[in-house]
């Protein structure tokens, strides 16, 4: 995330000359093109094109006269215009895609459907992604696409920072979120501390999220959404427990097979109902709720 004033320039999609010219204008105020070229080292043959581009973007205004002068808009106005420019570019991109979407689908959907018919049973069941950013991206997608429920099975939910905005989106849409974690006593000291922080975060930021802990060693972890015992819906991501394999060498399975997701749900539900207890939202030392600890 940008932390200094100069970082904004990297977000404006400017060329090096344009960024140099805008920064110098903000320092100098109103000036002429030749003076700005001299101050920045931008070739005089290029300076007018640079200033025209900044004017079209809404960052600089031209003052008529002989000679013409150029003046930057207020910094707050530049930041607002940058956001508006990006919004306009996105809307134009969306319109361009929508204009050709039907033709694209008509052209390539039949080809893909032929490929799907040729999938092996395993390929039809799931595909794999690397653990890390690819699996986190899939998890965010699941939270965004969930209609009714999201179910998380994890040791400590240590990747929550990467998916927190997607959790917020799901919760704000009224999607139920249940999180089943490994009991703190089964964790390393570092994971126990991290899990305690995450449980506090969930309690404070997402009070509607239900968290329980299980003392059963979890054979797999993952996230799945909208399970249906009639096999009408369901998607999920899971990976088996392999403590000896570092994360960057591991892969997670992604499935859109409703029957497979229904099986994941039945396992989760058994642990949730019979082999877990409510988590203490404000643990001291990583415990569970006192009146439930003996369940």
pTM of the model: 0.57
Say whether 113 sits in a helix, a strand or coil. Answer: helix
**24-35: pLDDT as tens digits:** 999 998 999 999
Q: How confident is the model at residue 243 (pLDDT cuts 50, 70, 90)?
A: low
Q: Domain 123-288 is classified in which CATH homologous superfamily?
A: Endonuclease Chain A (3.30.870.10)
Q: Which residue has the higher pLDDT, 221 or 107?
A: 221
The CA-based diameter of the chain, rounded to the nearest angstrom, is 86
CA distances from 95 to 89, 90, 100, 108 (A): 10, 9, 9, 20
Task: Write down the residue that tokens 């989760």 correspond to.
Answer: 268
Average pLDDT over residues 169-191: 92
Q: How confident is the model at residue 3 (pLDDT cuts 50, 70, 90)?
A: low
* Closest to 201 measured CA to CA, from 156, 238, 247: 156
**266-283: pLDDT as tens digits:** 999 999 999 999 988 766
Average pLDDT over residues 243-251: 66
pLDDT at 4 over 90: no
Is the sign of the CA dihedral 106, 107, 112, 113 positive or negative? positive
CA distances from 260 to 145, 171, 220 (A): 18, 25, 14
Average pLDDT over residues 71-88: 92
- In sequence order, what are the residues at sequence separation of 6 or more whose Cβ sits closer than 8 angstroms to the Cβ of residue 45? none
The H helix count followed by the E strand count for the chain is 9, 11
pLDDT at 5 over 80: no
Confidence (pLDDT) at 281: 72
CA dist 143 and 122 (Å) reads 25
Ranges 8-17, 103-112, 211-220: which has the least confidence: 103-112
Confidence (pLDDT) at 186: 85
* Closest to 48 measured CA to CA, from 33, 29, 66: 33
Q: Are strands 149-154 and 176-182 parallel, antiparallel or unpaired?
A: parallel
Q: Where are the domains of the chain?
A: 1-118, 123-288
Confidence (pLDDT) at 291: 34
Average pLDDT over residues 214-218: 82
**91-118: pLDDT as tens digits:** 999 999 999 998 888 887 775 555 445 5
Asked if domains 1-118 and 123-288 share a fold, the reply is: no
CA dist 154 and 211 (Å) reads 11
pLDDT at 264 over 80: yes
pLDDT at 138 over 50: yes
Mean pLDDT for the chain overall:
85
Q: How confident is the model at residue 294 (pLDDT cuts 50, 70, 90)?
A: very low
Confidence (pLDDT) at 254: 92
**61-73: pLDDT as tens digits:** 998 888 889 999 9
Average pLDDT over residues 34-38: 94
Strand ranges (E), 160-257:
176-182, 210-214, 220-225, 235-240, 251-255
Q: What fold is seen in the domain 1-118?
A: Arc Repressor Mutant, subunit A (1.10.10)
């Amino acid at each position: 995330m940008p932390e200094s004033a100069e970082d904004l320039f990297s977000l404006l999609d400017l060329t090096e000359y344009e960024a140099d010219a805008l920064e110098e204008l903000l320092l100098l105020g109103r000036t002429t093109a030749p003076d700005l070229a001299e101050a920045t080292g931008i070739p005089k043959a290029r300076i007018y094109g640079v200033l025209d581009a900044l004017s079209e973007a809404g960052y600089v205004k031209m003052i008529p006269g002989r000679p013409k002068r150029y003046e930057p808009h207020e910094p707050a106005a530049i930041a607002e215009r940058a956001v508006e420019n990006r919004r306009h570019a996105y809307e134009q991109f969306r319109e361009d895609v929508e204009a050709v979407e039907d033709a694209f689908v008509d052209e390539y959907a039949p080809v893909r459907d032929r490929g799907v018919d040729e999938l092996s049973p395993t390929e039809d069941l799931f595909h794999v992604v690397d653990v890390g950013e690819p699996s986190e991206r899939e998890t965010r997608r699941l939270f965004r696409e969930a209609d009714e429920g999201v179910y998380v099975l994890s040791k400590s939910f240590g990747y929550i920072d990467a998916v927190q905005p997607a959790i917020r989106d799901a919760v704000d849409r009224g999607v139920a979120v249940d999180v089943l974690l490994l009991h703190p006593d089964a964790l390393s000291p570092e994971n126990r501390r991290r899990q305690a922080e995450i449980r506090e975060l969930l309690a404070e930021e997402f009070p509607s999220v239900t968290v329980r802990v299980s003392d059963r060693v979890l054979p797999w972890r993952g996230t799945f959404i909208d399970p249906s015992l009639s096999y009408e819906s369901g998607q999920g991501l899971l990976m088996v427990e392999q403590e000896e394999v570092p994360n960057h060498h591991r892969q997670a399975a992604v499935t859109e097979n409703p029957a497979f997701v229904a099986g994941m749900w039945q396992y989760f539900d058994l642990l949730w109902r019979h082999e877990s207890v409510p988590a203490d939202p404000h643990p001291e030392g990583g415990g569970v709720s006192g009146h439930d600890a003996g369940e």
